[in-house]
Structure 1
Amino acid sequence: MSGLPGLSWRLLRGGGRRGLLGAGLTAVAVAVSTALLLFAVVANLGFQGRADREAWRNPVAATGGAVAIEAVRKDYVRDRQITVVDLAALGPGAPPPPGLDRFPAPGEVWLSPALAELAGELPADQLAARFPGRRGGTVGDEGLVHPGELLAVRGQAAESPVLRADASADPRTGVAPTRIADFRGKATNDAEGYRALGLIASVLMVVPLLVFGGAAARLTVARRDQRLAALRLVGASPGQVVAMTVAEAVITAFGGALLGAVLYGLLTPLLMRIEIAGGSWFLADLWPGVLPVLAVLVAVPLLVGVSAVVGLRRVVVSPLGVAKRETPPALRFVRVVVLLAVLAAVPALVAGSGAGVIALVIGLAFLCVNLVGPWVVGMIGRITAGVARTPARLLAGRRLVDDPRAAWRTVSGVAMTGFVAGFIGFLTPGSLTTDSPRAELRLSAPAAQAASLAAEARERLSAAGVLATVKAGGDGDRKLITVSVGRPGPAGGSVPGNRAPAKAPASGVPGQASPGQTSSGAAPPGQPGGAPVDAALVDRARTALEGLVPGRVATSLADEERFTHQILDDIGTGTVIVLTVSFLVAVASAGITAASSILDRRQTYALLRLAGTPLEVLDRARRAETLIPLTVMGGGAIAVGVFCALPLAVAAMNVTGAITLLVCVVLGFAGVVGAGAATAPLLRSVTADPAPRPD
C-alpha cells in the first residue's frame, strides 16, 4: 500500500498490542452484525421463495385459451395438513406443474417425499387408500413449500366429478375447479400474511444491527481521535484526516464482514431446522445468493466508514480541543423533539396500515430512541454528578457528562432489546386452547342428496370397522353430514356391527382396555364427543369417507382452526427468534463496548490508579456508569415499544407477554453485569502500566 491508505495501515499495525485489540473488537462487532444482518435479509427472501413455490396451487382463471383444469383441497392426517391438487389436461401439450417432470395422466398419483414416507408407515386404511391409482413419481422441491410438506397431485379426466363446475370447493378447505392457462398462480393470503410478519420481524432485527454496526465504527474512538488530532496539528489537512479514517475503518470492517459471512454459512444448517408455517426450510431458502452477499459485504463497511467520518467533526474543526481532552458541548434538546414527534404520529400511521408502513414506523421509532439516547445519558450524568455522595458515583457522573455517546454505546444494545421486548411482549398471543372435538367430522353435501350420502357414509364406515354416529342436518342448498367417530348414538343412528379388531392397550395387558377406552380405541358408550379418541380411528374414518362428496373432504372444527393455532405458534417462535437475535446483539454490544471503553480511557485509568485511587473505586464507577443509564433508558425503551404496539393490540398484555418482558429485563441486566465482570481483568491490566503507549 502507498499514500494515505498505506499510512493508515501502518498506523493500524503500529498501534501496539492493545491497538490491535481495539481493531479486533471492531472486526468482531462487524462480524456479528453481518452474520445476523444476512439472517434478517434471508428471512424475507425465504418467505418470498415459499410464496412463489406455493403460488401454482392458487390458480388464476384463464382469460384466453385454457390448457388444464385445477382444483385444490386440504385434507388431514394425524393433525397434519395434506394439500391435494387434482389436474386434468384439456388437450395435448399441457405444461407440467412445478415439481413434476410431466403432466400427470388420468389415474396417476404423485406424492411428496414426506407424504410417500408417511403413507408407507401408516396402515393403508388410514392414509394410502385415499390416493388410489398408479404412482407417477415424486414431487420435486420446486413444487413444495417446505421439505416436510404433505402434497399429493392427482391426474384426472376432464369430465371427472371432482373437476365439474358444480363441484365448488369449500373456501375453508380448498379452491374450486379452475380453468388455467399456466401454473403461475398468485400468492395465497396465508403466504402474504407470513411475508408481512417476516418484514416486521426483520425490521425489529435489522435496525438494532445497523445501530450496532454504526457503533462499531466508534469503538476505541478516543484513541483514534487523539492520534488524528495529533496529525492534524502537525499539518495534515481535513481531507487527509477523513481519508485516513475511512481507510482504517473500511479495512477493519471488510475483514469483519467477511468473517460474518463465513459465520452465517456455518450457522445455515442449524437455521434450516427452524420450523415456521408448518415446516423447516430448504437450503436454497436460506442461501441469499451471490448478489445479496456482495451487497452486504459492501454496505456494512460503507456504513462503518460513514459512521467513522461522522464522528470526525471535532478532530477536523478543533484538533487542539481533542488533544487537550476538553469536554464537548452538551447535545441539543431537538433530539427529544424528534422522538416525541415520531411517537405522536405512530397511532395515526400504524392503525389500519399495511405491513410496509408499520415496519417503517417501527424503524423510525427505533432510530429516534437511538438518537435521543445520548442526550438522556448526558442528563443522567449531570444529575448523578450533582447528587453524588461517593467518589465512584462522582466519577461515573462526570464520565457520563464528558462522553454521553460512548456511555450510550455500552447500553444501547440492551435498550434496543428493551424496545423489541416491549413491542413484541404486548402483542405476543397467549396460549390458545380449544374444545372443538377432533372426532366429529363434518362433510358438506347437496341438500337433495344428503340423506342418501349419509346412508352411504354409514355403509362405508361399517365396512371400515369404525364406530360412529352419522347424521344429516341443516337448511339451504347444502346440508352438513356429521360423523361422530367413536360415539354410538341413539338406536338406528350408529353404525351397526362395526367394532374394530382389538389392539394392544396402553396398559400393555393383552385383551384389557385402558381406562376410558374400549378395546377398539373408541370412546365408551355415553362418553362426550369431545373426549379423546384414537387418532388412528379418526384417520380410518377420513379414509372411508374419501370421495363421498366430489371436491369435499370430511373435516373437524379443530381442522378448520388449525391455521389459527399454527400462526399463533409461529408468532411465538418468531418472538423467540427476534429476541434471541436482539440479545445476541445486546450481549455482543455490551461486552465489546465495555472492553473498548477501557482501551479508550486506559491512560486516564492508569493515572487515577497512580494517584492512589483504589481499583475497586474505578470498577464501581464503571459499573455505575453503565447500570444507571441502563435502568433509565431500558425502562424508557420498553415504554416506547409498548406505546408503538398499542395501536396494533386487540387486548391487554397477557401472562405470556408479561413473562417475556420480565425475562428480557433480567437477561438484559445480567448481560451487562456479566460483560462488566468479564472485562475487569482488562481494567486491572491497563492500570498496571501508566506509561504512554505507541498508539
Structure 2
Amino acid sequence: MNFELTKLLTMNNRESKKRLVGVSAGIAVGVALLLLIWGAYNGMQQRELRSAWTQLGGRSAVQVSTTTDPLTTGHALAFVSGDYYQGNAITRVTVAALPGSTVRIPGTEHFPEPGTYFASPALAELINAVPADQLGDRYGTSSGEVPDAALASPDSLVVIVGQTPESLAAEPGAVVVSEFTGRAFGGNWAYLTLAIIGGIAILIPVLLLVSIVTGLGATERRERFATLRLIGATPTVVARIAATETAVTGAIGALAGATLALLLAPLAARVPVDGSTFFVADILVDPISATVVVVATVAVTTAVAWWRARRAGFGPLGNSRQQHERPPRALSLVPLVTGVAALVSTAIAPSNGLIIPGAQLIILVGFVLTTTGLVIAGPYLTFLTSRMAARYTRSAAGVVAFNRIRRLPRTTFRSVSGLVIALFLVSVFATAVTTVQEATAVADDAEHLSMSTLINRPTAEPTEQQLAALSHAPGVAHVGLAYFRMLEMDGPFFSRTDAQQLGLIPASQRATITTEFVAVNPGFEANEPIGVTAAPGIKRGDLVNPILLIATDGTPAGLEQARTVAILSGIEFYTVPSTRAELQSNYMATLGSSFAGLANLGILITALISVISLAVATIGGILDRRRVIGLLRLMGMPVRTLRRIIASETALPLGAVFGACIALGVTVAWALVAGLSNGKRAIDWPGPSYYIVITLSVILAALSVLTTFKSAEKNTGITTTRYE
C-alpha cells in the first residue's frame, strides 16, 4: 500500500521525476566518492605494506658482526641502498643466500644469482630505454622482474641484485634476515595519523553533499505530505511514505554510486600520490565493504527521512506555515574551542620540553572536533551576524533575507557549509604543504656547489689508481676529495687545486688564496652557500674521513655515466654518489612530503564538492519558500529583489565565517605540522596557487548562485504560485 501510494505521489509529473533523478544522482556521486576515498586510503596502506620488506627492520633483521653465526639456509644476507637516475630515486636491495635457502622476498621463488638482478617493470623499461653505461651496467645481467606483490605501485623503481655471501658480508650495512618484513609507514604513527586526517578531511565534504542532496528531496515533499495530512493520513503513514521514497531513491543512487566507483577506479588509480600511482586493485573496495557502504547509505538516509517527517509534524496548513528554529546558543562553540585547544596544546608542548602521552590520538580527535565544530558553530555565528545586519538594513531584499536567516540560522548555514569546510580544509592543506616545499627548495646559482657535481662519502680513502681511473671516465670533468681533522674536529679542507677545479673558489679570490689547502664552510654539500678561506698550517697527514666529489661535464648523460663508473670503480661507498638536489630530496623523502600530492588532490575535491553543494542547497532553499516568495512576487516584488535575497542569504553566512575559516585553517596546519614533528618543522605562508584557489572557489560559488536565479524565477513565478 505504502509503495503504491508513494509511487503515485512521487512519479505523477515530470518535475517530480526530475527531482528524484537529482536526489539519486547526488547520492550516487557521494557514494562513488566515498568508495574511492576509502579505496585510496586502503590503497596507501597496501602500498606501504607491500614495500615494507625493504625496511629490513624489526625482529627479523640482525646486524652482521664478528659474533654472528655462520649463514644458514634459514637466513639470508641483505643490504638496502639507494640509487638515482635523472633525479628519480631507485631502491636497490642487494641479497645473498646459500643454495637451498628458504628465505624469500614477497612474490619471488628464489633470489637472483650473483651478477644478475631482478628489476621492477618500470625500472626494466627504463633500463632498456637508455644506454647501458648510464644505468643497466650498475646491476649486472637481467634475470627476471620484481613481482607486483613486492612493489608499492606500478611506477616503483626497485632492483634486487644478487651477490655472493662473502662479498656482501663485507658491506658495513649488511644484515642477516630470516624473512623480509616491515610495518606500514615504517611504523611511524605520526604519518599514519596524517593519513587518517587526510581521509577524514576529504570525507567530510562528501558527507555534507549527501546530506544536502537528501535535504533537497525533503523540502520538495513537504507540500504533498501536507496534502496527505489534510485528507486524513496519520503522521505515521506520512513518515512511512517519506521513508519508502527515500529508500528507493537512496538504493538506486547508492547502487549507481558503487557502479560508478568501479568504473572510475582505473582512472583514480592513475592519480599520483607520493609521486606514484596505484594498482587498480588497491583502489577497489572489497565487495563486503562496498555492500556495507551501500546498505548503510540507504539505511541512514531512510532513517533521516522518516525522522524528519515525524519531527516536522505536517498539519492541515502544511507548507504555508512559517518554519522556525530554536536560536543557537554559545554552547555550540564548545566543540570548536575544544578541538583547537587540543591541537595547539600538542603543538606547543614539545617546544617547552613537555611530552604528552598519546599525542597522535589527541591530534586526531582535535582535528575531528575542530572540523565538525566549525559546522556546529557556524549557525551561531550566522545568527549573531544576521541579527546585527537585520537591525541596520534598509532595503527590502535585506529585510527579507536577514530576518529569514535570523529565524533559520541552521538551515541557512547548511547551504554554505560545504564551501565553509572547503575554505577551511584548503587553508589547512595549502599551508601544511609549505613545510615540505620550504625544506626541499635547493638553490642553483654561482654561490652554491654545482648541481651537476656528484657527492659521496667513501668507507675508506680511495687509492690513486681508483681516482685516476675515475678521472678519465666518460662524463667526468674532475675528481676531488674533501677532508676533516679528527683532533680539532674541523673541516672540510680541500687542496687548492681541487677546490679550483670543482668551482669552489670564485675568480675574485683565486689570486688572494695561495695556501696549499683551503677551508670550506660545513654544509656546502647540502644547501649552504660556499664560503672559502685560506687554511695555512694544514698538514696532509692530519686529514681523514674524505668526501668524494665528482664534477661532471654538466650533461644528463655525462652525469649518469660518471655515476655508473663510480659505482663500478671498486670504491666502497656508504651511499650512492648523488647530487645536492638528490641528497636534499632524499633527506626530505619522508611520508610527510608524500602527502603533498594528497593535499593538492584534497584541495580539488573539497572545492568542487563545495560548489555543487552550494548550488543544490540554494535551489533547495528556494523550493522550500517558493510559496512565500511567490506571494511576494504576486504582490509586485521585482525579480531583481529576489536575486538580491538569494545573494544576501549566501553572502552573509559565508562572510560571517570567511576570515575565521582561513585563520583557523592556518592555525590547524601549524598545529598539525608542529605536533606531528615534535616541533621540528615549521610552516610558511601559502604560495600564489592558494590564493588563486580561494579566488576561484569564491567565483565558482558566485556562478553557482547565479545559475540558481533561473530556477528561482521559474519556481516562484505567478503561474506557479498555488493556494491550499
Band of TM-score, shorter chain: 0.7 to 0.9
Contact 1:113 1:138 in 2 (8 A): yes
- In 1, Cα distance between the equivalents of 2:100 and 2:234? 76
Contact 1:200 1:355 in 2 (8 A): no
Range with bigger deviation, 459-468 or 577-586: 459-468
| Residue 464 (structure 2) pairs with residue 468 (structure 1) | no
Q: Which residue of 2 aligns with 1:577?
A: 601
Q: Which residue of 1 aligns with 2:638?
A: 614
Q: Which residue of 1 aligns with 2:712?
A: 683
Q: Which residue of 2 aligns with 1:538?
A: 559
| Residue 142 (structure 2) pairs with residue 135 (structure 1) | yes
Q: Which residue of 2 aligns with 1:281?
A: 278
- In 1, Cα distance between the equivalents of 2:165 and 2:159? 18
Q: Which residue of 1 aligns with 2:312?
A: 315
Q: 1:450 to 1:661 in 2, by over 3 A?
A: closer
Q: 1:444 to 1:120 in 2, by over 3 A?
A: same
The superposition leaves residues 579-629 of structure 1 with CA deviations (integer Å, 9 ceiling, x where unpaired) of: 111111111101112222222222223222222111121121111111122
Contact 1:258 1:297 in 2 (8 A): yes
SS at match of 1:147: coil
Contact 2:27 2:210 in 1 (8 A): yes
SS at match of 1:96: coil
Range with bigger deviation, 194-203 or 56-65: 56-65
For residue 676 of structure 1, report the CA deviation from its aligned partner. Answer: 1.9
The superposition leaves residues 52-94 of structure 1 with CA deviations (integer Å, 9 ceiling, x where unpaired) of: 1111111245489733222111011211112111122235152
The superposition leaves residues 407-437 of structure 1 with CA deviations (integer Å, 9 ceiling, x where unpaired) of: 2222111111111123224323145432454
SS at match of 1:94: coil
For residue 308 of structure 1, report the CA deviation from its aligned partner. Answer: 3.0
* Structure 1, unpaired ranges of 5+: 169-175, 495-527
| Residue 618 (structure 2) pairs with residue 594 (structure 1) | yes
For residue 51 of structure 1, report the CA deviation from its aligned partner. Answer: 0.6
Specify the code of the residue in structure 1 equivalent to 2:90.
Answer: I
Contact 2:478 2:501 in 1 (8 A): no
- In 2, Cα distance between the equivalents of 1:62 and 1:397? 67
Contact 2:474 2:558 in 1 (8 A): no
The superposition leaves residues 464-488 of structure 1 with CA deviations (integer Å, 9 ceiling, x where unpaired) of: 46222232633569x999999xx97
Specify the code of the residue in structure 1 equivalent to 2:408.
Answer: D
Specify the code of the residue in structure 2 equivalent to 1:359.
Answer: L
SS at match of 2:164: coil
Q: Which residue of 2 aligns with 1:204?
A: 201
Superposition pairs of residues 132-531 of structure 1, within 5 angstroms: 132=140, 134-159=141-166, 161-164=167-170, 167-168=171-172, 176-187=173-184, 189=186, 195-232=192-229, 236-312=233-309, 314-316=311-313, 319=315, 323-333=319-329, 334-349=331-346, 355-429=360-434, 430-431=437-438, 432-435=440-443, 437-446=450-459, 449-452=460-463, 455-464=465-474, 466-471=476-481, 473-474=483-484, 489=498
SS at match of 1:98: coil
Specify the code of the residue in structure 1 equivalent to 2:476.
Answer: V
Range with bigger deviation, 112-121 or 233-242: 233-242
The superposition leaves residues 95-123 of structure 1 with CA deviations (integer Å, 9 ceiling, x where unpaired) of: 43224343322332111222222222222
SS at match of 1:598: helix
- In 2, Cα distance between the equivalents of 1:635 and 1:152? 50
| Residue 586 (structure 2) pairs with residue 563 (structure 1) | yes
SS at match of 2:194: helix
| Residue 700 (structure 2) pairs with residue 671 (structure 1) | yes
SS at match of 1:307: helix
SS at match of 1:450: coil
Q: Which residue of 1 aligns with 2:77?
A: 69
- In 1, Cα distance between the equivalents of 2:337 and 2:655? 20
Equivalent residue for 1:52, pick from 45, 49, 59: 49
Q: 1:545 to 1:482 in 2, by over 3 A?
A: farther
Specify the code of the residue in structure 1 equivalent to 2:717.
Answer: A
Range with bigger deviation, 32-41 or 645-654: 645-654
For residue 564 of structure 1, report the CA deviation from its aligned partner. Answer: 4.8
SS at match of 1:182: coil
For residue 686 of structure 1, report the CA deviation from its aligned partner. Answer: 1.9
Superposition pairs of residues 64-103 of structure 1, within 5 angstroms: 66-103=74-111
- In 2, Cα distance between the equivalents of 1:307 and 1:240? 16
Q: 1:341 to 1:441 in 2, by over 3 A?
A: closer
SS at match of 1:428: helix
- In 2, Cα distance between the equivalents of 1:441 and 1:664? 39
Range with bigger deviation, 187-196 or 287-296: 187-196
Contact 1:407 1:625 in 2 (8 A): yes
SS at match of 1:561: helix
SS at match of 1:219: helix
SS at match of 1:217: helix
Equivalent residue for 2:9, pick from 8, 11, 16: 11
- In 2, Cα distance between the equivalents of 1:532 and 1:257? 60
Contact 2:335 2:369 in 1 (8 A): no
Give the TM-score normalised by structure 2.
Answer: 0.79
For residue 191 of structure 1, report the CA deviation from its aligned partner. Answer: 8.1
- In 2, Cα distance between the equivalents of 1:542 and 1:127? 9
- In 2, Cα distance between the equivalents of 1:533 and 1:465? 8
Q: Which residue of 2 aligns with 1:120?
A: 128
Q: Which residue of 2 aligns with 1:519?
A: none
SS at match of 2:578: coil
Q: 1:493 to 1:219 in 2, by over 3 A?
A: closer
Q: 1:127 to 1:482 in 2, by over 3 A?
A: farther
- Equivalent pairs counted in the alignment come to 640
- In 2, Cα distance between the equivalents of 1:312 and 1:121? 66
Give the TM-score normalised by structure 1.
Answer: 0.82
SS at match of 1:459: helix
Q: 1:47 to 1:481 in 2, by over 3 A?
A: farther
Q: 1:652 to 1:110 in 2, by over 3 A?
A: closer
The superposition leaves residues 145-195 of structure 1 with CA deviations (integer Å, 9 ceiling, x where unpaired) of: 222222211222222x2333xx22xxxxxxx32222222333453987664
Specify the code of the residue in structure 2 equivalent to 1:401.
Answer: R
Q: Which residue of 1 aligns with 2:37?
A: 40
Contact 1:272 1:281 in 2 (8 A): yes
* Runs of 4+ residues over 6 Å off in structure 1: 190-193, 479-484, 490-494, 528-532, 692-695
Specify the code of the residue in structure 2 equivalent to 1:135.
Answer: S
For residue 136 of structure 1, report the CA deviation from its aligned partner. Answer: 1.4
- In 1, Cα distance between the equivalents of 2:89 and 2:373? 44
- In 1, Cα distance between the equivalents of 2:491 and 2:387? 75
Name the Cα RMSD after superposition. 3.6
Contact 1:441 1:483 in 2 (8 A): no
Specify the code of the residue in structure 1 equivalent to 2:206.
Answer: L
